[in-house]
Every structure is written in C-alpha cells, then in structure tokens.
Structure 1
Amino acid sequence: MSSEIGATIALPEPELLFSAERESYRDIHPLRGLARYGPYSNSFFVSNPIQIATIAPFGESHRLNEFMRDLDQSFRPTERTDYLPDWPGFSKVFGTRKAAADKSCRVELDRDLDELLRDSELPHLVLVERLVRAIQQIEAHRTAFDVLFVYLPERWGAAFRGVEDDFDLHDHLKAYTAAHAIPLQIVREGRALSYPCKASVMWRIGLALYAKAGGVPWKLADVEPDTAYIGLSYAVRPVETDKPRFVTCCSQVFDADGAGLEFIAYDADATEMQVQRDNPFLSRHEMFRVITRSMLLYRRRHGGASPRRVMIHKSTEFREEEALGCFDALPTCNEIDLVQVVGDVGWRGAKWDRDRKDPEKQLADRFPVRRGSLIGIGDREALLWIHGAVELNQRTHFQGGKSTPQPIKLVRHAGHGGWEDTARAALALSKMNWNNDNLYDTLPVTMSYAQVLARVLKRMPLLGSSAFHFRYFM
C-alpha cells in the first residue's frame, strides 16, 4: 500500500437549490438563498399558518409570546457580520405565517415548581416529570398544533443534567416527544430570549420551526442521480439499564439531492454483536437487516426503484462481516462505497502561497486551508477539509473565526476510483443540516444526524418496527 501524499485537489463550494420549479434559484449561502428566493418547498408547503403550542413557567408565558412576535420583526446582525444577512421576518423568509395555537395548547407549569427544584436533591427528575405531564396535557389536542415550544429559564440550569446518571433534559424530552410524533423546539433563555444578537437567534429558530413543521428549506443543486447516502451510528445503553443494551441506529437515508427520508432504528441482538472499546460491530446478518430496511425506505420514496449507487458512512471501520452484510443487501446495486468518516485526526495543515515579489519563496497565507481541499494519503485514505476558509460575499469567510481547521479522514473499505466523488458528496452533505444557521457542519449530515439520533434513541423505551422522521429529533 502506498503511503505517498498526493497533490492537493480544490473542490468547489457546493450550491444549494431553493425552488422545485426554477433551477436558477441557487446559492452557496443557505441564509442568503432563503432571503432571496424563499424555501425549496414554498410552492407545496401546506401548513399556513404554522400553529405553535407553548409550555412556560408560571406567569412567564408573556416572555415566550414576545419572543414569538419577534420572529415577525426585522433585525440586523451584530455578530458574524461577514456571514449573517439581515433577518427580514419569518413570513418574508418562508412565505408562510405562524400563529399561537388554541388556548388548550398553551400551558403554564405549577406555581410551586421553583421552590420544589430548589429544595430537591434530584431537581432534574422533578423538572422532567412536570414537563412530561404538561406535554401529555397538550398532546390530547395534537391536531390543533404543528410544533411545541418549551421555554426553559436559566435559573433551572441545575436541573438540565443529572449529577450521577446519564440524564440530559434535552435528550429525554426529545425521546418522549419523538415517540409521540410531536416536533419540539426547546427555547433556552440564555441561548434565545436574552441572546444579544437577535438576527442570529431568529435565523436559527425560524429555520428550525419551518423544518420541524414539515418544510424543506433547501436541497443540493448539483448531485449524482440515483444515489443513496446512508449514515450508520450505534448507541450503547448503560450496563445497569433493564432495556436492551444495544441500539442500532441507521440515520436518515438521503436522496441524491440530500433530501432526508425517514430512518430506521431497532434494538439489535446482543448475541450477534461484538464490542471493542465501547464500539459495537454488527454481524453479517444484523448489517443485512439494517441495509435492507434502509433500501425499503428509499424504494418507497422512488416508486419501487433502487439506487444505482449507495454510499454508506460510518464513524468506525467496516469489519469484514459488516461489509459482507452490505453486499448481501444490495445485490443489484452497481456501485457500493463503504466509507469510514473519522472526525478526530492528528493531521493539521497550513496554506502557503508563492511570494509575488520572489516566486522562489513562499509565504504563509493570511487565512487557513481552503474548505474543500482534498489530499490523498494512501490507496485507501484521504484528508478532506470540510472546515476551512470560503470565498463568500467577495470576502474570505472562516467559520468560527479562529483555530487551525482540522480535516476529516475518509477511509474507503469498499469501492474504487478516485477520491473526488466521495469527497464531493461528503462536502455537499455537510450543508444539509436544517437545525442550525451555519454555512456548513464539520461532518457530513449522514454522520452528524446519526450521532444525534443515537444519543436520543438510547433513551426511548420502545423502538418498535416503524420508521421515524428526523424532524422529531431536531
């Protein structure tokens, strides 16, 4: 196997599409594209207005109501000004209105909750019990709302996590609401209501609200047709739990244009799994089950047609048994790529340019390595800078503004050909997370979604055999 480092390939920034009818409605900047063209699903989105149910502390519903009204106001950014556009108002961006749901869907928590949380040795259990009770009250009127907003003040911060157990309030609430098909938006006081940059908050919450209500903000513009992208992630429950310890999570099965379908998840047979360093590996039979069910989701969306190419991402290596299970499940597929995506690597890079005055000399560039830089480091491995500098608004934009960007490592366990198609897909899929306002994630969405799903799924008591939709986990 060659260990020679190859030449650097510069991949272009992927474009996003903002209309199902007009191919020219595209932009590399997700928020600028929304502000210019509106969302991809503008012509077929049916929830108008989007009805919002609310849960708030006693006597504080007005704070959440004021925040919801702010979504209709315009704001100029005071941070990330090289990236964030002005927020013009929810209806102007998304072409649909939002409204408070019926009074039956607006609940305030008990008056004595602050005192109970202050006096309890286990405040997280008290808070989650009261919140779940309130959600159950609203759930009785499920047809009257589209998305549920829950306001959490910072004074309850001690109850957001358990001290000695694996408790996380966010994940626990998501697990409950996802199991009951309720899209949930948690509104933290410090991260939303009192956050200093209103434009940033409105872009984040507005985008999440639209996607959770079933809208499609954007899709990938230039894609290889008849391709399916699958992200695998495994969750391991604590040893002391009385539930099945292993959960196999298959993240959303993505179309070639990046549109997510439902995803499958189920408790795996512990007798057919191996664990090394807390990383579970599937047997050939279990992997066959996962990929077969994933393809059923794809074919249901595509009139029974199978993809020509399937690219499967996983954070751990593909063992031989797992690879064989994939091949068994995809007998008619022309191309199968099994790609390990390693997010934490020891590699770093710096960009150097020739000195204009003296071509024999090189000088360090003012900005980091460009996003989309690809370097082969062997027959089966390559480095891809998903995080890096981007030419944006006629300026160089570096997301985060500091640090040396770390590449991800792509390790090919099956497939052939050059690295460009594989890296181009990962780069494009890093722009398909509808749950934040950044230009991109530092991982392809196949991996970032899979991690979220696995974290929440291990807290769900029963997975059943039904498919889930990711908007309930956002």
Structure 2
Amino acid sequence: MRLPEKQLRVAHFHEPQLEFAAGQITPHPKDGLFLYGPHDKARKVQPVRVGVVGTTDGIGFFKTWGAKLKHMIAVPPPGKGEKADRLHLANFPGLEETFGITFDPEDCSSLAIPLDAIDRASRIVNLNEAVSKVATLYVERVRKHLRNDERAVDVWILVLPEIVYDRCRPGAKRTGLPMVKGDFSRRQKKKADLPLLSSVLDLQAEEVFDDVPDFHRRIKAEFLKIAPTQLLRETTIAPEAFINKAGYPVRKTQDAATVAWNLATGLYYKTQPRPPWKLPGGRPGVCYLGLVYKSLPSDPEGHSCCAAQMFLNEGDGVVFRGANGPWKTGDYEYHLKPDAARNLLSMVLETYQDNYGAPPRELFIHGQTYFNDEEWAAFSAAAPTETNVVGVRIRTTGGETKLFRDGDYPVLRGTALILDEKTAYLWTNGYVPQLDTYIGPETPNPLHITVLRSKNAMPSVDDVLADIMGLTKINYNSCNFNDGLPVTVRFAKMVGDVLTMGSAKGEERQPFKFYV
C-alpha cells in the first residue's frame, strides 16, 4: 500500500497504567496485585462462597487445586532454549496474599454428576439433543441445590470431563463412538419436522433446536438467571492425571502458576463488587460501548440479535440485549432500524444516569461495521444534548500492512501509523520492553481504526487510539499483560453466541461477568 507522504505520521502510545489498592499504579496486573492488591481491597480477608459441579473425580481435582491456591505456586524452571528471566511469567503468591479473598475447598457446595450419565447423554445420535441433555445434567443439579439448600453460592465452578469438550461443540465428529438413540433423529433441524408425539415433547424439541449445539454457550445462557460461572476442564487443573502412552500429558496446558493467576483473577472478578484493577486518570464522563451482532440459529427469516457492551474507566461492564430483527445487510454488515437503535442506546444511557446521576459527556460506540444515516440519526437523537456520541470502527487486518523495528524485529506495542485526522493503524500487539519479549507466533498485525461520525465535535484520533490501548488491559477473565483487542470488541462474539441461545431469552440487562 502506497501512502502520500503528507498524510504519514508515526506515533507511539505509552503502555497504559493500571490502578490498584491505595491508588498505586503499574502497567502489569500481576505486579500490581502482588505489590498492592486489588484497587478496592477490603480491610479483612473476604470469604467467597463457591459451588462446584462435576464428576466425583472432577470435584476432587478442583478441591486439590483449590488447596494449592492458598499457597505460593512457582513458575517452573526454564526449558531447553528458554530465557531464565521469562518476565511474562510470575510466581503466584497465594489467593489471600494477592486478592484478599479465601474459600475452603472442603466446604464448597459440591454437586456430583455420574460420569456414565454424561457419557451416555453425549453419545445421543442427534448432536443438538446430546448437548442439551449434557447441559441439563449440570443445570438441573444446580437448580435442585437451590431448591433444597439454604447456602448461597457466589460463583459456580463447572468442572468438565474431556468428553464434554470433545463431544459437545458444533461439528463434533464423535467418530468411533457407540451412539445412543434419543428422542429425535440424527438430522433433525427444522421445527416443521419435529415428531408429533405430545405437546410436552414438541415444546422440549423447540427449545432443543432453538440453540446451537455448544455446551459452553448453553451453560452461560442458562446461568444468566442463576449466578456467574467458571468452566474448567479436568485436564487444565489435573494434567498429571491424564497421561498418554508415551508418559506425557494428553493435553499441553499453561504452567500451574499462570493457571492460578487466571483462575484467581476470574474468581475475584465474579464474586466481588468491583474489578481487581481499573484505568486511572481517564477523562471523566466517558463511556465506551461495543456493538454486538449475531445471526440467530435456525431463524426462518434470517434475523439477527443485537446487543451493546458498556464499559467505563472503572473497568466493569454491563451487557444490554437489544431487539432481534433484519439487521444483517451484507456479508459483514449489520445496521439497526431507527427504533431499535434508539431503544438500545436509551437503555445504556438510563443505566449510566442511574449510576452517576448525569449523562456521559462522551459516548464512544465501537463497532466492526460502519453506521448508516438513519441508524446514526437514531443514536444521536437518543442521547441528550450534552452527550457527544462518537462512532468508531475497529477492524482486524490480515497482514496487508506490516511495520518493523530495526529492520526485522516486531514493532513496539502501542505504535500507530496515522493516515489522517480520522484513520490510523494501531499495533496493540508487539514487543513489550517491560516483558522483554513479543508474545506471538508471527509478525504482529495492526488494528485498522476509523473515527466515522460524531454528534458534536470530532475527537482527536490520538485520544481515540489512547483509549483503545487502555481498553486492551481490562480483561478480567485472565491476568495477562494485555489483549490484542479492546474489551469492547474482544468479547463481542462470545456475548453474541450466548445471547442467541434460546435459553438466554428475557435477560435484557446483565453484568458482563455472567458472560465470560
């Protein structure tokens, strides 16, 4: 690609800082948590009420792992060819020392499911039915507990045997398995083809085929009405229990310290009122909105679901479900009708007003498509006069634009190639001096950023890029230094996947922590 020289400007955006306890700041989540603790850390250690569901072995694996979380877990020694100072890795100091929370693994609400019941359900000929029945084993076990046990649970840990991961995803082959006959035929898809057995069975069938056959999506959708969840594969927390014929673990996993950091971060985020860190010193009154579109499975009219993910400098998010409708206008283009656009943005603004007592000064709408005239007019009309609504398109690139450092080294993370006052390439992946490495398999590709529209004054493209850099650091489902995508875009597919499940109907406004 050839660029006119007068338009070319290269800039670098410094690594965003994160705020932790006592207002202390550092760019690395692990450093901040180790040195200072979560930014809203309580004075006393807070007990967390954990429920765990799985096979008898799976529950045992989690209890063993839970006991390990109470102590320091060291990074393993470097392997052959690895640096001794692998700065992207860090010892895990212990749950109480790092996060100020605790739980007793032996006192969890432990709900066992027979492995043979999971095995049989996952071998049902029709994949939709198989996934539905495996998910029901977990969901109904929790619902029974809620009916019969007074103990409240803050987060449910769902421990999955490997057969759930292998057999309960879209396109799962399940070759070589002795299959089991279910209530429906192998290729049952359309509601018009459902067997005329009884009204009850017809209703069950409609629910089964409304959902994509994916255990993860189904469980997240069902638990929107219950509590946040954390899904763990048995092979993640007990790799030593699953060895192949050569004597190695059947699955390569992250080192135990990294698994502990990620699990503990998710545990804190999903059980505490505030996230473990936030972006400090942001512009007051700024709100970021990520638009989500997802085609509805098996919808005869080809309709799509729309949603919005709202994030603030404080980091926490809320997901708003919009209307279903004919939003898809091209292969990768979605546009809301005026009423749907106005209603969706009104829900967001109402929630912001309730929390802060005034509307936002700036509302940045991040999307992966452009905004047409009637859609944008509706967004602008929904916002009060004092709120500047700004539309930003964020798209990944496939390698057509490359930038190198010192000849052939990856560029610094935060490098931007600014084409004009509205358009830029931004490298959110790249070499990180603090970690002394670039964590990636190939030369990093940039994001293509375009400031499309603005209700009032057009913001500086530099401000937009700096905001996007900050939003790559508030993924609380892990404890990584950064993501390659801002949180407004990073989880769009996951949120859309959950919201298009029939099981998710009726949940119009829900904390983001329920989706991850």
Contact kept in structure 1, 2:132 and 2:213, CA below 8 Å = no
Q: 1:13 aligns to what?
A: 15
Give me the whole-angstrom Cα distance separating, in 1, the residues matched to 2:259 and 2:13.
31
- Cα shift at 1:89: 0.7
**Are the structure 2 counterparts of residues 455 and 101 from structure 1 closer, same or farther at C-alpha, using a change threshold of 3 Å?**
farther
- Superposition pairs for residues 150-299 of structure 1, below 5 Å? 150-163=158-171, 166-178=212-224, 180-194=225-239, 195=253, 197-214=255-272, 215-238=274-297, 240-241=298-299, 245-251=303-309, 253-255=310-312, 257-270=313-326, 273-277=327-331, 279-299=333-353
Q: 1:420 aligns to what?
A: 462
Answer yes or no: is 1:40 the counterpart of 2:39. yes
Give me the whole-angstrom Cα distance separating, in 2, the residues matched to 1:282 and 1:427.
28
Q: 1:357 aligns to what?
A: none
**Are the structure 2 counterparts of residues 44 and 447 from structure 1 closer, same or farther at C-alpha, using a change threshold of 3 Å?**
farther
Q: Helix, strand or coil: the match of 2:497? A: helix
Give me the whole-angstrom Cα distance separating, in 1, the residues matched to 2:338 and 2:119.
54
- Cα shift at 1:244: 9.0
Give me the whole-angstrom Cα distance separating, in 2, the residues matched to 1:325 and 1:101.
54
For each residue in 1:243-299, what CA deviation from the matched residue of structure 2 results, as whole angstroms up to 9, or x when unmatched? 993211111x222x24224221033344xx452116431022221111111111111
- Counterpart residue type for residue 214 of structure 2: D
Contact kept in structure 2, 1:234 and 1:280, CA below 8 Å = yes
Contact kept in structure 2, 1:14 and 1:222, CA below 8 Å = no
Q: Helix, strand or coil: the match of 2:344? A: helix
Q: Helix, strand or coil: the match of 1:34? A: helix
Q: Helix, strand or coil: the match of 1:151? A: strand
Give me the whole-angstrom Cα distance separating, in 1, the residues matched to 2:339 and 2:164.
46
Deviates more, 1:215-224 or 1:9-18: 215-224
Tell me the C-alpha RMSD between the 2 structures.
2.6
Give me the whole-angstrom Cα distance separating, in 2, the residues matched to 1:411 and 1:9.
16
Q: 1:83 aligns to what?
A: 88
Contact kept in structure 2, 1:283 and 1:321, CA below 8 Å = yes
**Are the structure 2 counterparts of residues 101 and 51 from structure 1 closer, same or farther at C-alpha, using a change threshold of 3 Å?**
farther
Give me the whole-angstrom Cα distance separating, in 2, the residues matched to 1:409 and 1:184.
34
- Cα shift at 1:406: 0.6
Give me the whole-angstrom Cα distance separating, in 2, the residues matched to 1:184 and 1:381.
39
Contact kept in structure 1, 2:122 and 2:131, CA below 8 Å = no
Unaligned runs of 5+ in 1: 354-363
Give me the whole-angstrom Cα distance separating, in 1, the residues matched to 2:48 and 2:352.
28
**Are the structure 2 counterparts of residues 421 and 241 from structure 1 closer, same or farther at C-alpha, using a change threshold of 3 Å?**
same
Q: 1:411 aligns to what?
A: 450
- Counterpart residue type for residue 128 of structure 1: A
Contact kept in structure 1, 2:425 and 2:447, CA below 8 Å = yes
- Superposition pairs for residues 112-131 of structure 1, below 5 Å? 112-113=116-117, 115-117=119-121, 119-121=123-125, 122=127, 123-131=130-138
- Counterpart residue type for residue 48 of structure 2: I
**Are the structure 2 counterparts of residues 244 and 52 from structure 1 closer, same or farther at C-alpha, using a change threshold of 3 Å?**
farther
Unaligned runs of 5+ in 2: 79-84, 173-188, 190-211, 240-252
Contact kept in structure 2, 1:313 and 1:339, CA below 8 Å = yes
Answer yes or no: is 1:26 the counterpart of 2:20. no
**Are the structure 2 counterparts of residues 9 and 129 from structure 1 closer, same or farther at C-alpha, using a change threshold of 3 Å?**
same
- Cα shift at 1:242: 7.5
Deviates more, 1:372-381 or 1:461-470: 461-470
Q: 1:308 aligns to what?
A: 361
Give me the whole-angstrom Cα distance separating, in 1, the residues matched to 2:508 and 2:43.
26
- Cα shift at 1:330: 1.7
Q: 2:202 aligns to what?
A: none
Contact kept in structure 1, 2:221 and 2:504, CA below 8 Å = no
For each residue in 1:100-137, what CA deviation from the matched residue of structure 2 results, as whole angstroms up to 9, or x when unmatched? 4867x311112532551575334434422322222222
- Counterpart residue type for residue 265 of structure 1: R
Q: 2:417 aligns to what?
A: 375
Q: 1:360 aligns to what?
A: none
- In the alignment of these two chains, the number of paired residues is 447
Q: TM-score, normalised by structure 2?
A: 0.80
Instruction: Give the % identical residues.
Output: 23
- 61, 64, 67: which one pairs with 1:63? 61
- Cα shift at 1:209: 0.6
Q: TM-score, normalised by structure 1?
A: 0.87
- 115, 133, 146: which one pairs with 1:139? 146
For each residue in 1:171-191, what CA deviation from the matched residue of structure 2 results, as whole angstroms up to 9, or x when unmatched? 11111011x131111111233
- Cα shift at 1:156: 3.8
**Are the structure 2 counterparts of residues 282 and 389 from structure 1 closer, same or farther at C-alpha, using a change threshold of 3 Å?**
same
- Cα shift at 1:66: 0.5
- Counterpart residue type for residue 28 of structure 2: H
Q: 2:112 aligns to what?
A: 108
Contact kept in structure 1, 2:122 and 2:168, CA below 8 Å = no
Moved over 6 A (4+): none
Q: Helix, strand or coil: the match of 1:262? A: strand
Give me the whole-angstrom Cα distance separating, in 1, the residues matched to 2:496 and 2:286.
24
Q: Helix, strand or coil: the match of 1:8? A: strand
Q: Helix, strand or coil: the match of 1:436? A: coil
Contact kept in structure 2, 1:370 and 1:389, CA below 8 Å = yes
- Counterpart residue type for residue 166 of structure 2: A
Give me the whole-angstrom Cα distance separating, in 1, the residues matched to 2:62 and 2:311.
35
**Are the structure 2 counterparts of residues 237 and 142 from structure 1 closer, same or farther at C-alpha, using a change threshold of 3 Å?**
farther
Give me the whole-angstrom Cα distance separating, in 2, the residues matched to 1:196 and 1:425.
30
Q: 1:361 aligns to what?
A: none
